[in-house]
Structure 1
Amino acid sequence: MNTEELTFVVGEHRLAATKVLGDDGRAPSVVHLHGLGPTADRHGVRYLLDELAEHGHGSLTFEFSGNGDSTGVLEESTLGIRLAESRAAAAQLGADEAPVLIGTSMGAHLGAALVPELRPRALVLFVPAAYPAGSDDDRFYDTLAKPGNHPDSPAFAGIREFDGDLLVISAVHDQVVPADVVDGYVTNAVKARSVEVVELDCDHFVHRWLPAQDSILEDVHKAILQVVSASVPRR
């Protein structure tokens, strides 16, 4: 496994990123989109991405503007800004494979909303949030609506167009995202080739809890590897 640190510019901000590559040096096809919150960063999912790299699946993990080593102020960001930054991150992936989008919380909303554009082969959504239509310009911690099972959510509109493999990792004790949001994702995944939901006995902050759960983590690794490896179609 090898890593490469890089930055890329989106608008007025420079975003910090890490490529996690297998020994074969193949260009990454997996990107992680982190969630909302001042402590969210590109490092928290390395325990998942390192395992994928060991099986030959390279990835890109990065920080949205206002988080980690990226420039910007979190409170000035919006879903619209993060959608643009997600597109730019996906553009850093290799061109030979359809991408895999791994999203956590707000990152899951972003990944699902971008399905019609990015045409991913697989979605892995941890504790997925969903926001209502018309929220793209609402600033975080100001006017942005709380996540919920909003029928008009762009995430649900996107997931209705998804024809790959969907893996949802939910938290039984999620104190941030209502439980019926997972139902919204599953119900709207009408074209998905496969749908699997894994429930974990933890709260919303799954990436703090899961690394220490040896047997459960092994099962999650297997589930992720299965959808990532199921097919690697050309674009």
Structure 2
Amino acid sequence: MNPIPRHHIHREEHTVHRDFVFEAAGERLAATTITGGEETEPDILALHGLGPTATRHRTRYLLDELAEHGHSSLTFEFSGNGESTGELTRSTLRRRRAETLAAAGRLDRTRPPVIIGTSMGAHLAAWTVPELRPRGLALFCPATYPAHAADLPFDGSLVRPAYHPDSPAYAALRQFEGDLLIFGARQDEVCPPEVIEGYHAHARRARSVEIVWLEGCGHFVHDWLPGQESLRQQAVQRLLRLLAT
């Protein structure tokens, strides 16, 4: 880990990035808020996926554009990833759920948030619905894990994502009353289509559900989508519509 200062501000032409750290369960988590010219409090929380190379910067290409339209966000690295402290192999889904809730405590409290989750981050976004009551969920290549996997360490013990009917993500999603937006990859080699079908089926109280299938895209959507100008802009427009609710 390369520690970052407790507060570091970087200004670009249309956005302001504030790097900082916060504590959760004894770990120091590296985070960034991304705001536009007005620097409003963030009401978007972005959650990255699983893996040693996952960082809070993977969705910056989307968050920067949202900030230019007046929507501020917070993105952070779970313990054991990027600049955060901790060991990846000792992390668990339950620990990361607690870290998600800690990060959400730094959002604008005047309105329900929008949560953007990728892969494992989508599982966590859905799992925290009962506490966070988001007005919107935007899930990229969402994963689900079974109930018994919550405390399995990331040392090779964690089961592969698949369609798990008993997933706590599905159970929590049944309470969701906001707008659900899912981006699925047609060539996803990690999470089968049945996972997305499960999200759709369990979002029975959602105000709306939209599923966007990305042709030619594999599981690592944030490596692929930035290079697809038209599709990237369509994704931004869909996210803007979600945020407008």
TM superposition score normalised by structure 2: 0.92
Deviation at 1:22, TM superposition (A): 1.8
What are the residue-to-residue correspondences of 1:83-94 with 2, within 5 Å? 83-94=97-108
**Matched residue type, 1:94:** D
What are the residue-to-residue correspondences of 1:4-23 with 2, within 5 Å? 4-23=18-37
Q: Which runs of 4+ in 1 moved over 6 A?
A: none
**What's 2:239 paired with?**
224
SS at match of 1:71: coil
What are the residue-to-residue correspondences of 1:194-213 with 2, within 5 Å? 194-201=208-215, 202-213=217-228
Deviation at 1:33, TM superposition (A): 0.7
Question: Bigger relative contact order, structure 1 or 2, given CA contacts below 8 A and separation 6+?
Answer: 1
Distance 1:210 1:142 in 2: 29
Deviation at 1:94, TM superposition (A): 1.1
**What's 1:122 paired with?**
136
Matched, 1:45 2:38: no
**Matched residue type, 2:229:** D
Unpaired runs of 5+ residues, structure 2, are 1-14
Deviation at 1:143, TM superposition (A): 2.0
Q: Deviations over 1:160-196 (max 9, x none)?
A: 1100000000100011111110000001110111100
Overall identity of the aligned pairs, in %: 54
SS at match of 1:146: coil
What are the residue-to-residue correspondences of 1:162-181 with 2, within 5 Å? 162-181=176-195
> Which residue, 108, 113, 121 being the options, matches 1:99?
113
What are the residue-to-residue correspondences of 1:155-166 with 2, within 5 Å? 155-166=169-180
> Which residue, 188, 193, 201 being the options, matches 2:207?
193
What are the residue-to-residue correspondences of 1:28-43 with 2, within 5 Å? 28-43=42-57
Matched, 1:110 2:124: yes
Is the Cα contact below 8 Å between 2:90 and 2:155 reproduced in 1? no
**What's 1:147 paired with?**
161
Distance 1:164 1:77 in 2: 30
Q: Deviations over 1:24-73 (max 9, x none)?
A: 12100001011000110011100110111111110001000000000111
**What's 2:151 paired with?**
137
SS at match of 2:222: helix
Unpaired runs of 5+ residues, structure 1, are 231-235
**What's 1:215 paired with?**
230
TM superposition score normalised by structure 1: 0.96
Q: Deviations over 1:76-115 (max 9, x none)?
A: 1000110010001111111111111100000000010000
Is the Cα contact below 8 Å between 2:77 and 2:84 reproduced in 1? yes
